[in-house]
Structure 1
Amino acid sequence: QVLDGKRRPSGGMVRLGSGAKPGIFTQQQARRAGRVMDAIWNQYPRFTELEVRSHLARFGYRGEEVFKDCASLSGGELARLRFAELALERPNLMFLDEPTNHLDIYMRESLTQALAAYTGTLLLVTHDRYLMQTLDCPIMYLENGSATFYQNFAALQNREAGRGAKVQETQQKAEDSAKKQGYGKEQRKRRAEVRARLKKVETEIEELGAHIVELENEINDPEVLRDHLLLRDKCDELDDTRFHQQELYEEWEKLAEEQERFENEGE
């Protein structure tokens, strides 16, 4: 909002280049009046109905969905409508705040591909690790009140010098040792621990998924939307929940790989 001119900076100044044509995507889209197709048609009145509907179809609005009342749209539907508008605005500078929130897997993948092909300047705030990894762009990582700059997501993952190589070497030694020793007491114990942790992580992921749906519904509640402080708290809680769920997904993948190694070694 500071970069977009919506808020004044607490210090210094913000000045965009003379040729900058910014496009803005906010995490919580404002409610609007009219139908879905009106959101496009009112801005581009020279479009034919076929052109409007064809454009909206690229963003998941097909058939009777283009006649939906915008006031009844979910968070994900509002996000898709805003991206449909941005595609026509053709900005050379985009500010995106958590752009993949509320989107289903298909739309998240489509958006990631579109951003990867975008030739303008992109500044986004995100907790989506897949998006960061795919875009492979520089990252300013905020943690404990400080900011650290990383060249890309790979550098962020290996932020301790030599950490990645050392971890890989340690894992390889552990695997070699396990193969030599076979399934002894420690291996059986570890296998049981992995199995138990996998089950617990799966349960936690499901619980967080249900909580995310609950928070999204609360955020779209008119009473919450009118209370800016409550809305901010709910959005922060939603971000933290999504971030924690992503961490659990990554842990689950590592545990599943470890369990598969145990099974292969036992054959």
Structure 2
Amino acid sequence: METTILLQDDILWSRIQSFSLDASDADFPFSKKLAKEEHWTLDFAQKAIQEYKKFVYLCCILPNGASPSETVDKVWHMHLIYTQNYWDEFCPNILKRKLHHHPSKGGFNEKTKHRDWFSDTLKSYHEVFKQEAPKDIWFEKGKTGTRTIWLKRLRIIPLFVALFMLSSCLGEVLGTLASVALPVIGIFVFLQGIFSFFRFISFFRGDEGNIIIKKKDDGSLGGSSNGSSSGFSSDGGSSSCSSDGGGSGCSSGCGGGCGGCGGGCGS
């Protein structure tokens, strides 16, 4: 993607930026529901919403569209649930076109394209907004989560060690039982340690770096928005995006969540 020829639409950005996803008369507005559903703080949810708006803007102005992060995609999914706000207000009045979200075929080639597409999106973000994309919003946390899961699994090993030590103090009966059970437990602990070790090795070698992408390939949603007179298509992974209404359009997919569509949203 040539970031030196990015299209800009200040009027469109002004409309997107001023649009509120929180209804003024709602006791439990969008941002609070998002924070609750995703187990985020309210401040983080509101920050994610602002980044979602930037993503939508990039979808509209970039010739090849844009690819969201996992966090931004979650905001998009939540917005789609608010059908009246999304379809009756946001798309026709703010974007001046439809912005769909639908699944794609997925596959290894599309994952590779998605990684390139996402990288281009981050570069374009910097070009358009004159700042780096916030790491806590735009960079995936799947690896950290996976590491935490395996660390928790390794915590059971000290438990078995403690049981082994206590068994020596419980008399001959437990000692007899332990003589049968402990070899089995020892084998289990040994195998668990070997298994965990190789999982950690594969993790740091990058074999588990596409957790979100795998989940998306199993049927998650992607985005779409279809243009008018000219068309563009690009398959990037597990979801796709196209938009209706501007001077040109695209349909594209991505592996880490979903994609956007460029070609001019109209003003």
- What's the TM-score, normalizing by structure 1? 0.27
Which structure carries more relative contact order (alpha carbon 8 Å, separation 6+)? 2
Work out which of the two has the higher radius of gyration on C-alpha atoms and give 1 or 2. 2
- What's the TM-score, normalizing by structure 2? 0.27
